[in-house]
Amino acid sequence: MDSFAAFAMGRTATAMNSPHRVFDWHKAAELIRKRKPLIASAGLRDDWEYTGGEIYRDGKPVPKGESYTYLASNWAIPELDMDGEIVECFVMLDDSPRWHSGTYWPKSALSILCVEEKA
C-alpha cells in the first residue's frame, strides 16, 4: 500500500464517527464587518485547493455564481482567510441553523454584514 492510500484509509477511519463541522457564516460575517478585509475566502483546512474560494471582495459578498466553496466536513476544519490571516470558522452541524456544505451567504449572515440580498 502506498502512503497516499494509507493516509486516505486513516482519514476515512477517523472520520467515520466524527461529528460534522460546517462553516459558521454568522462568525464570518461578524469578523468581516469588523476587520473590513480587501478579500476573504473560505475553505477546509488541508483541502483549500478543492473546497475554497473567495466569499468577499471589494467591500461586498462575492455572488454565488462567481465562487465555489464546499464548507462542511467530518474530518477537516472550516476556515476563513481574511487578507492572509486564517482563522477557524465553524459550528457543529447539529448546532447550525440547517447549514450544509452548499450553504452560501444565508440571509441571516448578509444581515450581519448589513447587505441586502438581491433576488
Residue 88 one-letter amino acid: E
pTM score: 0.82
pLDDT at 114: 84
How do residues 5-26 score in pLDDT, each as one tens digit?
544 555 554 556 789 999 999 9
Q: How many alpha carbons lie under 13 Å from residue 80 in its C-beta half-sphere? A: 23
Could you tell me the three cell numbers for 20?
A: 460534522
Residues of the chain under the 50 pLDDT cut: 6-7, 13, 119
Q: Is residue 57 part of a domain?
A: yes
pLDDT at 70: 97
Counting the structural domains of the chain, the total is 1
- Give the domain range for residue 37: 19-113
pLDDT at 1: 54
**Residues 41, 31, 94, 98, CA torsion sign:** negative
Q: Is residue 7 part of a domain?
A: no
Q: Is residue 9 part of a domain?
A: no
